[in-house]
A and B are shown apart, each in its own frame.
Chain A
């Protein structure tokens, strides 16, 4: 039973983490605009944008551009495209890249179509992180105590 509880706790932790994954791109229907920013909220200016159009599961390169000083980039939709894969890479800090799939079908059915802004607030993130740490410390102490008693 205890093993099951530990396994369940670990599973819940993993599920919680997966749900909390956040991306740094938002997009809007009309002209499609993407916005990217670093962790602290500073826009990724002059970032290289690469857009790939996906139709019937086949992906092909669509266009390339550069973000403005607000970290934004706009492009015209291509008729008949199911989804776009957008990559934005910082030119100032190598190794920093964000990627997001914009699904046109779900965007249209959602009306306004703003995505990527459902992340946790910073404070929620901090509290969640401290909660995880407390939980992990508890699990580790339980494990070590059981090992000692065995």
Chain B
């Protein structure tokens, strides 16, 4: 539930979100190669559908985000995937607002890129370390998305600490679940299709 709705944010914040998103898309679209499109489409499909997996938690209901998985698998192309996934989620499932897609893409896309950066630290490491970094990247992406969302809501006049704590607490199960999922998928891919992760792994 890090998808912010329409009517919550000011025009300036919305414009800033769109600006960051457009720049990030322009930069990452240039890296897109035809052979990577099937992987991009499949990962986007997983990201798009993951938001339907809900975990009831206290008075609310939170859903999977999977931006960490997108970051780990797609690397710099993750931003494109997150943006397309969010557009489809907003129009087809009503997750998040339409005018807020820029801000939501910024929050979840940048977190996905951060997860990728963390995961790339696993270069030249062994399989266990890669799996652990996948686990951490999966959790980090969600936590970072929550913190960025709280920061944006703070700009909209909400009290930052209270909002950040409320959102973080609501997302604790998601952070744990996604860390496990991403860690497991990374371990699985290392075994059956390591080239997908573009890592040099020893042992």
Contacts and interface: CB of A to CB of B under 8 A. Distances in A.
Contact of B37 (A41, A90, A93, A141): A141
Contacts of B95: 39
A88 B62 CA distance: 18
Interface string B41-71: 1001100110110101011111100000000
Interface string B93-112: 11100100000000000000
Contacts, number: 119
B93 A97 contact: no
A38 B1 contact: yes
Contacts of B150: 94
Contacts of A94: 150, 153, 158, 163, 166-167
Contacts of A133: 41, 44-45, 48, 84, 88
A138 to B, nearest CB: 9
B149 interface: yes
Contacts of B5: 95-98
A1 B60 CA distance: 51
A39 B58 contact: no
Which bracket fits the contact residues of A? 35 or more
Given A92-B170, A126-B52, A132 B37 contact: no
Interface of B: 1, 3-8, 32-34, 37-38, 40-41, 44-45, 48-49, 51-52, 54, 56, 58-63, 84, 87-89, 91-95, 98, 149-150, 152-153, 156, 158, 163, 166-167, 170
19 contacts: A22-B92, A38-B60, A39-B61, A45-B59, A46-B59, A89-B8, A94-B150, A95-B5, A95-B153, A96-B4, A97-B5, A120-B92, A125-B92, A129-B88, A133-B44, A133-B88, A137-B38, A144-B34, A145-B34
